[in-house]
Structure 1
């Protein structure tokens, strides 16, 4: 892209410059490690979102204390085995769709002669949304099973003997379609969330390069940024993207979570879930779990993007090595 500052171009590695086999193998290990570290936050967020009106555990810290008191550290990893089983194929699908769509999207927006941040927002946003749509086919059943395990025995929710028991009971009561309960809301939640996250990340990163660090000046165009500078800009972009995405999509995530953890005998429509949330807590009920979700999306987003960019550098071919 002619308008892209040379120094920024040297920080970005495109899909055609990657060793794909190494990219997938190393990436599986990196993202599994990140999931291990951040999974407890997802458990706490889910518990908050399904807490009843009369629950004494009304904040993240009380939820965490309650889990540790009753189940210890293993309680923070309920459903983890199920998530890891589906995370690798879902992540492979996501990253492949993300990178290939991003390349095509940049070619589409280039003739529009927009600013760097605007081009990045559109191209990255389209890529993030498309990647999420493809990944949902694998992720939704995994998400549904893991969330049932996260809340089992809590506030009257059913107890299970592991992920296979959850799957067997869903299949028996609802058939295959039971694994896709809340699929529409998942698409409505994660696809816009992914689009907003990647759009915010791409545009903020270019804004930092061009406006704050002055990478468009003649003095800096020939200078390759240090690794520390690259990491700092990418981390800042990840935090900003997580903040924006979590603020916009938490209400849909709360509704989706409540729909997915219900037992077959308690099935409600999204409209009934919305009415109950408003009756219990007013409009602020839609933002249950916002704190953990904000932390999770910011921490996960920042960790993920640093690992992702490191992965691309380590798997680059030719002049990028």
Structure 2
């Protein structure tokens, strides 16, 4: 029997809550607080990853531990949060756009693939992948300027990069030199990096969950199996987040390295193009140069992804409308 999309989501032990079953106002207000807390906890990983990606050759050989040690020695704990104010200011509207687009697109995508009569993990991968890519595309308009400013703050004074007094100072200097388009430096690569990354992440998350649930004896067309416990649901969601983070980071790290280097270049007149950045990376380190910061990026995407998805799923349970 071909289960309709709405029932198909609920068939996995009622582990997923659809968009139409959420109190939207509470979802956005409570979500802003929860996601801010997660960002505070994991932000230093992004700082370390960014510094490794933009370091000059002699510094790039240092480990993530050495970078952390250097930051703490020179700037103390506040050094691990450079650019945080800028990120958190833009994160709230960006996440509202992302999550709204994600959930609404996911519903339409499931309806779109249902007639194909594919397996449930495959349908989930396609529908979640489409939703993840669409949500990323919508949120880039807000996210890229925040990314450009915050990354300059993350690497200021490091490996020859300029120093700033804050996010406003960075934005002002960029606009003065290049106009508003300067805030969208690397926009094309950001879209090319984050959209496939988001698609890969959500596709992996959606499909891996279903594979795990089936392995545990849930899902399919069987209604005989009792609903799983909340602790089991959390463990499966966490496992899905780790798998998704590993998949997405492996695929998109090279593009992320190029994009980051483009975005943090100084205000010199002859800024290199993406092609020149690629040539320089190849000349310095060969193909492995594109995977600078892979360890922190893998940890970042797995930690961020798992923490965010558990927070997100918890948020949805908190904001679910009682039938």
Is it true that 1:18 corresponds to 2:8 in the alignment?
Answer: no
Residues 1:109 and 1:151: Cα distance change in structure 2 (over 3 Å): same
| Aligned-pair CA distance for 1:34 | 0.6
1:255 matches 2:271: no
Query: In 2, distance between residues paired with 1:231 and 1:241?
Result: 15
How far 1:222 moved relative to its partner?
4.2
Please list the CA deviations of residues 138-185 of structure 1 after superposition, one character each: whole Å capped at 9, or x if unmatched. 000000000000000111101101001001100100000000000000
Conserved in 1, the CA contact under 8 Å of 2:208 and 2:240? yes
| Contact 1:57-1:63 at 8 Å conserved across structures | no
TM-score of the superposed pair, with normalisation by structure 1: 0.96
| Aligned CA distance change for structure 1 residues 21 and 173 (closer, same or farther; 3 Å) | same
Distance in structure 2 (CA, Å) of the matches to 1:279 and 1:219: 57
Deviation at 1:5, TM superposition (A): 7.9
Are residue 103 (structure 1) and residue 107 (structure 2) matched? yes
- Corresponding residue of 2:79: 75
Q: Flag the 1:311–1:57 CA change in 2: closer, same or farther, 3 A.
A: same
Query: Which residue of structure 1 lines up, in the alignment, with residue 119 of structure 2?
Result: 115
User: Which string of whole-angstrom CA distances, capped at 9 and with x for unpartnered residues, describes residues 34-85 of structure 1?
Assistant: 1100000000000000110122762101111100000000000000000000
The CA RMSD over aligned residues, in Å, is: 1.5
Kindly report which structure 2 residues correspond to 1:94-243, keeping only aligned pairs within 5 A, or say none. Answer: 94-210=98-214, 212-216=215-219, 221-243=224-246
- Please give the secondary structure, in 2, of the residue aligned with 1:273: helix
Partner of residue 12 from structure 2, selected from 3, 8, 14:
8
- The answer on whether the counterparts of 1:19 and 1:317 sit within 8 Å (CA) in structure 2 is yes
Structure 2 SS opposite 1:191: helix
Q: How does 1:221-300 map to 2 (within 5 A)?
A: 221-265=224-268, 266-300=270-304
Paired with 1:40 and 1:6, the residues of 2 have a C-alpha distance of 37
Inter-partner Cα distance in structure 2 for 1:5 and 1:251: 34
Deviations 1:267-297 (A, max 9, x none): 1100000000011111000000000000000
Give the paired residue count: 318
TM-fit CA distance, 1:263:
1.2
Q: Is this contact kept in 1: 2:13–2:219, CA < 8 A?
A: no
Paired with 2:83 and 2:92, the residues of 1 have a C-alpha distance of 15
Q: How much has 1:215 moved relative to structure 2? A: 1.2
Could you tell me whether the CA contact under 8 Å between 1:82 and 1:145 is conserved in 2? yes
Q: Verify the 8 A CA contact 1:7 1:221 in the aligned structure 2.
A: no
Deviation string 1:100-136 (CA, Å, 9 cap, x unpaired) is 0000000000111100100000000000000000000
